[in-house]
Every structure is written in C-alpha cells, then in structure tokens.
Amino acid sequence: MTDLWPDFDISILQEPKENNSIKIIREQARILGKKLENKVKATFSKVHYHYREEPTNGLTSAFNTFKKLNMLGEIDTKKTLKKEETLEEELQGKIDASSLIKEQQYKFEIYNEKYRFRLFVYTYTLMYPNKILIDENIAKEIDQENEVFVENDRELRNLLHLIFSSQKVRHIIKMMMLEENL
C-alpha cells in the first residue's frame, strides 16, 4: 500500500516550545501596580462578551415575546437532546487535540479610579505562535504591524518591552497618575 502521509520533522521534539505567555503577561500586570504604588494598575483577563436586546421592529419583538413565553413554560416545545459521540475503545479516555489549537482572547488594560486604556488583545493558544492585536497608535510608534505573531516567550518579552516603553503608554500612565493626585 502507498504511504500518503507527508514527511514529518521530528526534530521539533528537541525544541523547547513551552508557552509561558499567560504567566509572563499576568506577572507584568502585577508589576505595574507595585511599581506605581497602585495609582495606576494593569489587568490581564479573558475577553467576555454579553448580549443585550436592542430596540427592534415588530417581527423581532414578536419573536422575543415567544421566547419569554417559552421560558415561562407557557408554550410547549420539543426538548433538545445533547448529542454525544460514541468513541471506539482505543479512543476512549483520550483528550481531543482540538483543545490544543483552541483560541482564547485576553485583554491587557491599564487603569486608575477614573480611566482605563487597552494596550492590546492577546489571542492565546496552547502552542505558539500567538497573536497580539496592538493599539493602532502604539503599533505605529514602535514600528510594528497592528497584528503581530510571536513565536516564543523571548519574542513575547521583547514585544511587551517595546509596548510598555512606548511614549503613548508612558504619556497615558503619566496622565492617569496626575489625575489621581488632583
């Protein structure tokens, strides 16, 4: 039988590819507050979205009324059943590798009692490369694209240093600190 698989580079097994990015960025968020006596702090957290109802036309309004009646149990609908895959014996107990490439977005923001500013959004996957979407003006200042892919912890540290050292970030932190003293 013909082997249809490509040749794989198994030398990657010797390369350290551990992704410490979440730990690195969280530590940097903690350091800022300590460095500035908590007058300006930083946060690094998952991006969460919520949905709210918008004023709509009559058709959508009727649909929302239907949903509300359904939630109250006044309208009988078919129950939805959770579909679960049956795995072959040799696959049982194995973790789905899809989780290795699942993306999670995090935001890095600096803030004080009155203001906040988002420096970047970090798209994390278990393995590098990871993506950073940098504030447009900071990216221009540090001569980077708005969207940057980092391949390892070292590249991440270097990019964070450029972002944190930018004049825009320094200026915003200075303004936030001055505002705190007014």
When pLDDT is cut at 50, 70 and 90, the band that residue 16 belongs to is: low
When pLDDT is cut at 50, 70 and 90, the band that residue 47 belongs to is: very high
**How many other CB atoms are found less than 10 A from the CB of residue 56?**
11
pLDDT of residue 14: 59
Q: What is the mean pLDDT of the segment spanning 117-122?
A: 98
Structural domain boundaries of the chain?
18-47+99-177
Q: What is the mean pLDDT of the segment spanning 63-69?
A: 58
Residues 164-179 have pLDDT tens digits of: 999 999 999 999 999 8
When pLDDT is cut at 50, 70 and 90, the band that residue 91 belongs to is: confident
pLDDT above 60: residue 112: yes
Spatial distance between the Cα atoms of 117 and 127, rounded to a whole number of angstroms: 28
Q: Which residues contact 119 (CB under 8 A, 6 or more apart)?
A: 108, 109, 110, 134, 135, 138, 163, 164, 169
